[in-house]
Amino acid sequence: MPKTKVAVLFGGRSGEHEVSRNSAFSVAQALKGSYEVLPIGIAKDGQWYGPVKIDEIPVFTPETYQNKAVTILPNPQSGGTIYTLPDLEPITRVQVFFPVLHGTFGEDGTLQGLLEMAEVPYVGGGVLASALGMDKLLMKAVFAQAGLPQVQYLGFLRKEIMEKGGEVADRIEKTLGYPCFVKPANLGSSVGISKVKNRNELYDALDLAAQYDRKVIVEQGVDAREIEISVLGNDTPVVSVPGEIVPCNEFYDYNAKYVDDRSELIIPARLDEEQARSIREIALAAYRAIDCAGLARVDFFVEKKTGQVLINEINTMPGFTSISMYPKMWEHTGLPMPDLVKKLVELALERREESSLSLRTYQRRA
């Protein structure tokens, strides 16, 4: 029997393009033992290229693949076929798409919408879950509606920051105080995030975050431990053991995550029984609140003085690099990387089969 063909999508139009390449390399390496892997690189301008050699994923550049521009068509009749550009000659048919894309135009529901229109199985949450998981302001609104505990926060539009910077700063100081964290609402991997301790730093941080997104979120700083937990599944999700991050820098910024390689990862996290139970329950509640599927990593704060557990955010396509917490926590739970990616492919097929049960045309009852 021929192996199931899995297209690994990576790169993309996002500030997390480089992180995506490293994640995709790890995923492709883990998949190749059980599946036929077809890596598809998405350049920073949005053009798709492939197939990319697995060993070249970390150093992918569109210049190397100029004669291999490809696409898929947004209709069910194409059946997951990869076509050449510009002549639309079919190359091969893919059974499952694995979008290892972080950030905008990959993790935010846009790509998921394309895959839904093509009616092909794909790994991860759907359009709604991906969009909510990407937009930190809407995510936190959903979490609040679900009654999940979280830090105080404010949201602003880029236009407000540009035109009413003083009023914005006044409101932040009055409501949240210092320190606080300023972030683009729609991005991850700590890109564009700043820890702010005074008004001058606040102006710089707001300007930086607004360069990446039209919406900016500002969160109250808390003296807390950073705890994460992995979730896996569709309608009946399960959780891994939790892990703790001890950042090598003042907070878990981009360099601490991907460059310095000096942050300490403690798995399992040193938590008392009540804290561990609370984290598991809140993680599953958050997963269900945004109607997630396939996988997610849920991040928490545990206040050092009180021990209170606060949800920070959910990440619907967490990193899969060699130092990423999502696969590491599952490995410590007893699910090594090859088995983890195999389970994710199975969940994608399961979700597509379940989706096919829904009627697409109105049928009048007799």
Catalytically active residues, by annotation: 16, 189, 258, 297, 299, 313, 315, 319
Residues in CB range of 343: below 8 A, 6 or more apart: 232, 335
Going by the DSSP 8-state scheme, the letter that residue 162 receives in this structure is H
Alpha helices in 176-296 (DSSP H): 199-212, 254, 273-289
The SS3 call for residue 82 is strand
Q: How far is CA 91 from CA 34, 43, 83, 208, 352, in A?
A: 21, 19, 6, 42, 23
Instruction: Provide φ and ψ at 215, rounded to 5°.
Output: -120, 135
DSSP assignment string, 43-78? -TTS-EE-PPPGGGGGG--GGGGTT-EEE--SSGGG
**Encoded amino acid at 179, one letter:** P
Contact between 2 and 95 (Cβ < 8 Å): no
Cis bond leading into 86, ω under 30°? yes
DSSP state letters, 303-320: ETTT--EEEEEEESS---
Residue 265, both tokens: 């990862």
Let me know: does 344 contact 294? Beta carbons within 8 Å.
Answer: yes
305: left (phi over 0), alpha (psi -120 to 50) or beta: alpha
The pair of three-digit structure tokens given for residue 5, joined into one six-digit string: 């063909």
Q: How far is CA 54 from CA 3, 57, 124, 227, 343, in A?
A: 17, 5, 21, 32, 21
Q: Classify residue 110 by its DSSP letter.
A: H
